[in-house]
Amino acid sequence: MLDLVKCEFWKLKRKKFVLFVIFSALLFPIPFTALVLKGNVGDLNAFDGLYDLLICMAVPVMLPCILGIIGAMLFYMERDNATLKNLIAIPVSAWEIATAKIIVLYFISFLFTCITLFSAIIGGIIAGSDLGNIWNKLITAIITAILYATGTLPIIIAIVKFNRSYIFAVILTFFYTMFGFSLAFTGQFTSDNQVMKVLTSILPTPVIYRWQASRMIEQGTTAFENWQPYFLKLGIVVFTVFILGGISYFAIIKIYKKQEGQV
């Protein structure tokens, strides 16, 4: 399995998009740093405020899009280069190939959130802020990476199933990301709507955001009291996201095996 994962990384190395991932993780904090320098983060210090903005606003928008596009690259490579038949002849099973690709997605997610943390540290230094609780923020970044990578697996099902063009994958990923992000932000204000209540309790991005918001909003404030019924504990979030992710993983394996049989 480790050799397969290495092979997937070598194939991605030829793609310029991976460099864009790193660049975007470094570039995205710039406007948020400007907000922090203007003092628009309440009573939080600059580092805490910048980190919370990036994790709760930048990551939910950027990371699922990036993972969806990279997922399309990984699962379409064998089709585009007609190499799946060669892999099967080695032999390598379809579930091993698909699992290796998914592991790469988790690594990319981890890389993105860690670079985001590094960017927040740089912004905090520029603002002259105290860089306390870095280890706690690193743990949060790792948990966030795992949750969003798992939460992106449902869109990978569609990408693998339809097996269309990259443009189709990008449009599908963008819609999935924006839909989830919109639900995450509007869910608290429409909590009496039963449909919205169900969607914000089962879809990955709103569920993850309900945990993130509980960490970002300062306790004891009016905002915290208003949002508190909307918050979710990490255990519930992990359980919900991993149930959906597990179902998605087995669905991806099944679809990929079916495509293997058609080669």
CB within 8 Å of 247: residues ≥ 6 apart: none
Q: Which residue has the higher pLDDT, 246 or 43?
A: 246
- Please say whether the dihedral angle defined by the alpha carbons of residues 19, 26, 61 and 144, taken in this order, is positive or negative: positive
Helix pair angle (134-162, 59-81), 10° resolution: 40
- With cut-offs at 50, 70 and 90, classify the pLDDT of residue 194: confident
Q: What angle do CA 121, 70, 249 make, to 5 degrees?
A: 105
pLDDT at 89 over 60: no
pTM listed for this prediction: 0.84
Mean pLDDT of all residues in the chain? Answer: 79
- With cut-offs at 50, 70 and 90, classify the pLDDT of residue 84: low
pLDDT tens, position by position, 144-182: 999 999 999 999 998 888 877 778 888 888 898 888 888
pLDDT at 40 over 60: no
Contact call for residues 152 and 105 (beta carbons, < 8 A): yes
